[in-house]
Amino acid sequence: DAGVIQSPRHEVTEMGQEVTLRCKPISGHDYLFWYRQTMMRGLELLIYFNNNVPIDDSGMPEDRFSAKMPNASFSTLKIQPSEPRDSAVYFCASRQMNSGNTIYFGEGSWLTVV
Amino acid sequence: AQKVTQAQTEISVVEKEDVTLDCVYETRDTTYYLFWYKQPPSGELVFLIRRNSFDEQNEISGRYSWNFQKSTSSFNFTITASQVVDSAVYFCALSETSGGSNYKLTFGKGTLLTVNP
């Protein structure tokens, strides 16, 4: 089975530009998570969805960040406008109900804002 | 609040040595899950193992073994006869099952393991 698929793998953008990261979860998984990894803060949960509905977005740093899940097989994380401090690796992950809370990660989207 | 501490920031060993990565956790839940993930230099996060709080049996998978001790709130990971391919950052994580933290994985800061030939 295919794993979690993220795109783009790498993105370099200028400050002020809009960035959209995309994720396709594992088929059949009910939960989708967006994590951010930085040297300073480690891995932190930004938001998660259950059955396409956002459940907890308390980790979203500010209004410049937004996430959507229009259907069970697609989610986006958007940053507008982007700032250099948004540079990080953004991971999408998914899990299935009754899987003992095990989540499976995509390969990450490496974002650099210059 | 849940918390995971990996006190070892970096470990360096020579190939074929055994190495243990420490993980200490804090939780008020009686039911929870513990995890180890591996992040090789290529960057992806790879799931290695999950234990639930009711199962304290140690587990062995090839060269990997895990020691879960509730009495000390520890979930340590040992690699026997380490290999260069084991070089990676290893993360310990905790997931509670109740309240607002349900389904959320809290990660430790990670331990960078370097295995030298």
B74-83 residue pLDDT tens: 999 999 999 9
Which residues in chain A have Cβ-Cβ distances shorter than 8 Å to B10? none
Residue B55: predicted pLDDT: 85
CB contact under 8 A, A45 and B91: no
CB contact under 8 A, B33 and A102: yes
Share of chain A above pLDDT 70, in %: 99
Mean pLDDT across B58-62: 86
DSSP-derived pairing of the beta strands B10-14 and B111-116: parallel
Candidates B25, B21, B53, B54; CA nearest to B38 is B21
Banded model confidence at residue B102, pLDDT cuts 50, 70, 90: low
Residue A26: predicted pLDDT: 95
Residues A36-58 have pLDDT tens digits of 999 999 999 999 999 999 998 99
* Spatial separation of the C-alpha atoms in residues B19 and B16, rounded to whole Å: 9
Asked if the model's pLDDT at residue B100 lies above 80, the reply is no
Asked if the model's pLDDT at residue A34 lies above 70, the reply is yes
Residues A92-111 have pLDDT tens digits of 999 988 777 889 999 999 99
Residue B101: predicted pLDDT: 52
Residue B99: predicted pLDDT: 64
Residue of A nearest to B45 (CA): A105
Residue A74: predicted pLDDT: 97
Distance from CA of A108 to the nearest CA of B (A): 6
Under a CB-based contact definition with an 8 Å cutoff, are residues B108 and B24 in contact? no
Sheet strand arrangement including A74-79: A5-7, A19-24, A74-79, A65-71
Cis check for the bond before A81: say yes or no (omega within 30 of 0). Answer: yes
Under a CB-based contact definition with an 8 Å cutoff, are residues A25 and A75 in contact? yes
Asked if the model's pLDDT at residue A1 lies above 70, the reply is no
The chain-wide mean pLDDT, for chain B, equals: 92
Q: B35 exposed, middle or buried (CB, 10 Å; 0-12, 13-18, 19+)?
A: buried
Which candidate from A55, A95, A105 shows the least CB-CB separation from B45?
A: A105
CB contact under 8 A, B47 and A102: yes
What letter does residue A99 receive in the DSSP assignment? S
Asked if the model's pLDDT at residue B16 lies above 80, the reply is yes
In this structure, what token pair is assigned to residue A55?
């459940």
* Spatial separation of the C-alpha atoms in residues A9 and A50, rounded to whole Å: 25
CB contact under 8 A, B45 and A31: no
Residue A102: predicted pLDDT: 87
Which residues in chain A have Cβ-Cβ distances shorter than 8 Å to B42? 107
Q: B90 exposed, middle or buried (CB, 10 Å; 0-12, 13-18, 19+)?
A: buried
* Spatial separation of the C-alpha atoms in residues B66 and B56, rounded to whole Å: 10
Residues A59-82 have pLDDT tens digits of 998 899 999 999 999 999 999 999
Residue of A nearest to B98 (CA): A101
* Spatial separation of the C-alpha atoms in residues B28 and B98, rounded to whole Å: 10
Most confident of A13-17, A94-98, B100-104: A13-17
**How many helices, marked H, and strands, marked E, lie in chain A?**
0, 11
Residue type for A105, please? F
Residue A97: predicted pLDDT: 81
